[in-house]
Structure 1
Amino acid sequence: MIPRVLSIAGSDPSGGAGIQADIKSISALGGYAMAAVTALTAQNTRGVTAVHAVPPEMIRAQLDALSADVAIDAVKIGMLGTIAGIDVVSDWLRSHRPPVVVLDPVMVATSGDRLLEPPAEIALRALSALADVVTPNLPELAVLADEPAATDWNAALDQARRVSRRDGTVVLITGGHLAGERSPDAIVDARTEEVVVVDAARLDSTNTHGTGCSLSSALATVLARGESLDGALRETKSWLTEAIAAGPALGVGGGHGPVDHFVRTRAADEPARWWALTAAVRDRIDASPFVRALGDGTLTPAAFRHYVKQDALYLRDYARVLARASALAPTREEQTFWSDAATAAITGELELHTRFLGEEPAVSEMSSTTRAYLDHLLAAGPGYAVVVAAVLPCYWIYQDVGNRLAGRSHADHPYSSWLATYADTAFAAATRQAAAYVRAACAVAGADERLAAERAFVGSAHHELAFFSQQDHLLAD
């Protein structure tokens, strides 16, 4: 089921925080996002210049309209702004409480601007008792506790215990305001004395606009899917860490920039982006003397024989790389696919090459170009996404070139039977499946692994060009 998640929060016209960040976060984590607007702000990545509170009767009208028609699985509450707004939301929760309620006690923006009227801070403490989870940063935790801000992690945990015990709710504290190389978050539940800490390295980034909004709305979405609290925190923190790391690439604003909420969606399209990056390399392959001569039938027998021999020698170690992909694959289907591909490379493909050669290719005759390509493939890793990204060009470029060459075949073409292998429909289907597995691997890989996968793919494309071109000196009889 797709969780239906309502954000009750203020609007950020820059798109990085508030309901805009909530809608992106809920969508990125697989939910259906709805929003009831509590305040309009004039703000950008540098700060807030104006706030206009939505009248309480309009907030209530939005909430009543939604609850009269839509089954709401979770609600995330963000900026409320006024005591009247807090009272409206509190009353609505008492009569229409969704299964999951997450409160992000928004009081201070990343830029340091106050977003809540001081008298309303007291009312917000009462609202926290109606939530399943409260997600304050350390300054907000201090306001909820009505104490000075904690200056170290242990003090923050103690403060969270006191708030949890007083309000009977779970407190998820974030340690981003503390100094140090680590940035821990923790779930604190004084009712069970449970404390679950999820640690991560601190990112050196100014793209932190709206991180509190994004964390809380993402958490509400994952909890609505039925995940446990600690599991939801781990998934949410992992996603948000990637989103922060990818934020600078958005190029938005000159202050505290936004995170890239759809970093994993973009990652799933990485192979298409890599394909575009290699357009110039692929044009050079199409224009290479060997490929042109193979296509029009003027290729010399010596050049063709050299190509087939090197391809046969290549397949032996290429099969080992495919076997490694199978060993690393996360699903049985992927394991089977890569294992079958490795077997086919040894049995089917090598038999075909040997038949064209009339003999078994000798390992001692492997060219430096072929060896360089294989060394590149054998060095790919250590992650699964990197390995499969490295082998994908051997599928994709071969099929791409083959589709054009096969169309030039005719009865008198000296290499017509070979060209037919390029356009094999089963190989085209395998290429599509391999690309789908690479997309899936990239969607769950971290930023460093995706970058390594990109380098592996682009490197393989360059090796494909070199592999085709190594016969050029044999084109003249």
Structure 2
Amino acid sequence: MTTHSAVLTVPRVLSIAGTDPTGGAGQAADLKSIAAMGGYGMNVITAVVAQNTTGVIEIHTPPVRVLRAQLEAVSSDVTLDAVKVGMLGSVEVIEAVRDWLAEVKPPVTVIDPVMVATAGGRLLRAEAHTALLSLLPFADLITPNLPELAVLAGADPATTWAEALRQGREVADRFGARVLVKGGHMPGPRTPDALLEPGRHEPVITFDDPRVATFNTHGTGCSLSSAIATIVARTGDDWPAAVSAARSWLRGALEHADDLHVGHGNGPVHHFHHAQHVLADSASHERVTDVLWRDCERVRREIDNLDFIAQLADGTLPPETFQWYLDQDMQYLTVYSRALAALAAAAPSESAREFFAHGAAEVVTVESALHRTRLNGAPQHPASEVTRTYTDFLLAATGSETFAVGAAAVLPCYWLYATLGSALLEKARAAGPEPHPYGDWLATYNAPEFHLAAERAREIVDRAAATADPATVRRMRDAFMRACELELRFFAEPVRRAGARPFAVASTHRVG
């Protein structure tokens, strides 16, 4: 391992990696990431990979003499400030790179032990695992995903974050290198990361962010490792700061990945998302949905204080009251599915269209199915006035208004339910060890997939607001607030109908 203290304006960074003809991973992602972080990128090709966003098709490994010639051509002419090592593939290739690193001793070396592509397909031959282990002591930082970390630790893939950290410490101590433990493969709505150093039990720095709601994650490992190498080379030896800055940039690249529309599988991230807004400092502008969430604080507080919510959480809600609620919710979902389908038809982008179309189908196949099971068939009661008011509003907002306004109108049904679902399930678990009478229903709205959908719906609303005129943004707010008020009335009605305290809405916000 080496140290690096010089501060460079434009660091010279070499990527040693395979190719990706669709440009999302490998040396293509490395060069984009290096440039995005202000470096000058160079590349040495280890393998020609026929891959796309749906998987790996074929791999050709050029003769090792060609690899050695590439490495010599670069290092004999250019003073290197950092090296990022990615896909290597075979024993001969690994040994050639290892010998070159031992000879050249770059100031910064980051090794991303690529073994399996995000889109699927093995990128490292089984017999090369042992050779790869001989390469890792030359790293300043190792950046495996969880399956790769397990291979390096000689264990099964971690199923808990504590187990991932334990494996990371083992790898750091074994190879005398920093290890970035990445939680992107962990289930759940959040993605923890931790930077570990050899000989140190506690992480140097940890991160815990909401998962970005996108399927377009092709090349994230390549991109992050190259970005870290470049930042360390440019700013000095502050690895925690470099990891933090690179993660922040990559989250933005993921948040804007759906803008690219590349491929039919796991598409690439948007490496230059920040360059799309060079005239506006995005950090100085608050997300529209952040404002909406503050604006609906009163409504959220009133929902939390409802008898229906309290009784649902502790399991004391009478079965007949819950059945009546499900009956109305079943009728609501039937119309809600139509509203989502209308949004899909009006969506301005393919990703938004796919999201709402998938949501419309999920309402029918998942949520409504659970309701039908509990109700033993079709609804038994006519739609109440509150149910009719809410469904009429949704149909009007998604059928007669602009896409932006319609998206804002359905957002509470994602966001409020996801937030409420988490809180309710936590309270239900605290109520006692006995099986909760409504546990299966609560779990549906606390599932990771539902939280991801809520975050994706939020991003769609933010994106729509970013290009909307002020009048449309005001109508988006009105639609969002009106839906929140109607959610409050919808939750209050079952207990009110059963004879609890009277209920009245303090204020309403209408579209139009």
With normalisation by structure 2, the TM-score equals 0.54
Q: Residue 263 of structure 2 corresponds to which residue in structure 1?
A: 253
Are the equivalent residues in 1 in contact too, given 2:25–2:220 (CA < 8 A)?
A: yes
Alignment counterpart, residue 119 of structure 1, candidates 107, 112, 127: 127
Partner of residue 220, structure 2: 211
Report if the CA contact (8 A) 1:133-1:170 is conserved.
Answer: yes
Read off the aligned partner of 1:224 and give its amino acid letter: A
CA distance in 1 between partners of 2:156 and 2:273 (Å): 37
Q: Secondary structure at the match of 1:6?
A: strand
CA distance in 2, matches of 1:192, 1:140: 21
Residue type of the partner of 1:197? T
1:70–1:448 Cα change, 3 Å: farther
TM superposition shift of 1:80:
0.4
Instruction: Tell me the distance in 1 between the aligned counterparts of 2:245 and 2:85.
Output: 20
Pairs within 5 Å for 1:101-180 = 101-180=109-188
Per-residue deviation, residues 46-75 of structure 1 (Å, max 9, x unmatched): 001100012111111111111111010000
1:354-389 Cα offsets, whole Å, 9 max, x none, are xxxxxxxxxxxxxxxxxxxxxxxxxxxxxxxxxxxx
- Give the structure 1 partner of residue 400 of structure 2: none
Closer/same/farther in 2, CA of residues 455 and 112 from structure 1, 3 Å limit: closer
Q: How does 1:376-395 map to 2 (within 5 A)?
A: none
Deviation at 1:194, TM superposition (A): 4.3
* Deviation at residue 193 of structure 1 after TM alignment: 3.3
Specify which of 187, 190, 193 is matched with residue 198 of structure 2. Answer: 190
Question: Contact 2:141 / 2:177 at 8 angstroms: preserved in 1?
Answer: yes
CA distance in 2 between counterparts of 1:207 and 1:48 reads 16
Q: Report the CA distance shift for 1:253/1:131 in structure 2 as closer, same or farther (over 3 A).
A: same
Residues in 1 aligned to 2:465 and 2:38: alpha-carbon distance in whole angstroms: 25
Asked whether 1:67 is paired with 2:55, we answer no
Whole-Å Cα distance in 2 between the matches of residues 462 and 106 of structure 1? 44
Which residue type is aligned with residue 94 of structure 1? A
> Contact 1:17 / 1:211 at 8 angstroms: preserved in 2?
yes
DSSP 3-state at the match of 1:212: helix
Q: CA deviation at 1:181?
A: 1.1
Inter-partner Cα distance in structure 1 for 2:229 and 2:88: 18
Pairing of 1:343-362 with structure 2 (within 5 A): none
Q: Partner letter of residue 208 of structure 1? A: T
- 2:48 matches 1:40: yes
Structure 1 residues 114-123 or 185-194, which shifts more? 185-194
2:236 is aligned with 1:263: no
**Aligned counterparts, 1:15-54, within 5 A:** 15-54=23-62
For residues 473 and 218 of structure 2, what CA distance do their matches in structure 1 show? 39
Candidates 78, 81, 88, aligned match of 2:89: 81
Residue among 225, 229, 246 paired with 1:236: 246
Sequence identity (%):
50
Distance 2:117 2:40 in 1: 26
Aligned-pair CA distance for 1:201: 0.6
TM-fit CA distance, 1:192? 3.4
Q: What amino acid does structure 1 have at the position aligned with 2:195?
A: I
Letter in 1 for 2:27: I
Alpha-carbon distance in structure 2 between the residues aligned to 1:230 and 1:259: 23
User: Is the 1:267–1:450 contact (alpha carbons within 8 Å) kept by the matching residues of 2?
Assistant: no
8 Å CA contact retained: 1:106, 1:115: yes
Distance change (3 Å), C-alpha of 1:240 and 1:462? closer
Match of 1:4 among 12, 21, 25: 12
Counterpart secondary structure, 2:235 = coil
Structure 1 Cα separation of the partners of residues 467 and 271 of structure 2:
24
Deviation at 1:81, TM superposition (A): 0.6
Distance 2:130 2:112 in 1: 15
Instruction: Tell me, yes or no, if the aligned pair for 1:11 and 1:37 is still in contact at 8 Å.
Output: yes
Contact 1:208 1:258 (C-alpha < 8 Å) held by counterparts = yes
What's the counterpart of residue 229 of structure 2?
Answer: 220
> What is the alpha-carbon distance in structure 2 between the residues aligned to residue 81 and residue 263 of structure 1?
31
Change (3 A) 1:112 1:455: closer
CA–CA distance in structure 1, aligned partners of residues 247 and 175 of structure 2:
25
Aligned partners of 2:36, 2:460: CA distance in 1, in Å? 20
* Alignment gaps of 5+ in structure 2: 1-8, 282-458, 475-512
Work out whether residues 129 and 167 of structure 1, in 8 Å CA contact, stay in contact via their aligned partners in 2. Answer: yes
CA distance, structure 2, for counterparts of residue 453 and residue 131 of structure 1: 45
User: Residues 242-301 of structure 1, C-alpha deviation per residue, up to 9 Å, x if partnerless?
Assistant: 101111110100000000000001121569xxxxxxxxxxxxxxxxxxxxxxxxxxxxxx
Task: Provide the secondary structure at the position in 1 that maps to 2:191.
Answer: coil
Contact 2:465–2:473 (8 Å) recurs in 1: no
Q: Show the counterpart of 1:338.
A: none
Maintained 8 Å contact 2:108/2:233: yes
Indicate conservation of the 8 Å contact 2:139/2:177, yes or no: yes
Distance 1:31 1:9 in 2: 17
Q: Which amino acid aligns with 2:261?
A: G
Q: Contact 1:198 / 1:233 at 8 angstroms: preserved in 2?
A: no
Task: Report how far residue 449 of structure 1 moved.
Answer: 12
- Structure 1: stretches of 5+ with no match in the other structure: 272-446, 464-477
CA deviation string 1:305-333 (max 9, x = no partner)? xxxxxxxxxxxxxxxxxxxxxxxxxxxxx
CA contact (8 A) 1:7 1:22 kept: yes
Which residue pairs with 1:406 in the alignment?
Answer: none
CA-CA distance at 1:149 after TM superposition: 1.1
Distance in 2 separating the partners of 1:226 and 1:85: 31
The residue matched to 1:225 in structure 2 has which SS?
A: helix
Match of 1:202? Answer: 211
The CA distance in 1 between the partners of 2:461 and 2:66, in whole Å, is 47
Distance 1:69 1:449 in 2: 50
3-state SS of the aligned residue for 1:200? strand
TM-score (norm 1): 0.58
Distance 1:252 1:225 in 2: 31
Matching residue's letter, 2:116 = V
Number of equivalenced pairs: 288
Give yes or no for contact 2:54–2:120 (8 Å, CA) kept in 1: no
Using the alignment, how far apart are the partners of 2:43 and 2:136 within structure 1?
20
Alignment partner of 1:129: what SS?
Answer: helix
Q: Take 1:154 and 1:32, find their aligned partners in 2: how far apart are those partners? A: 38
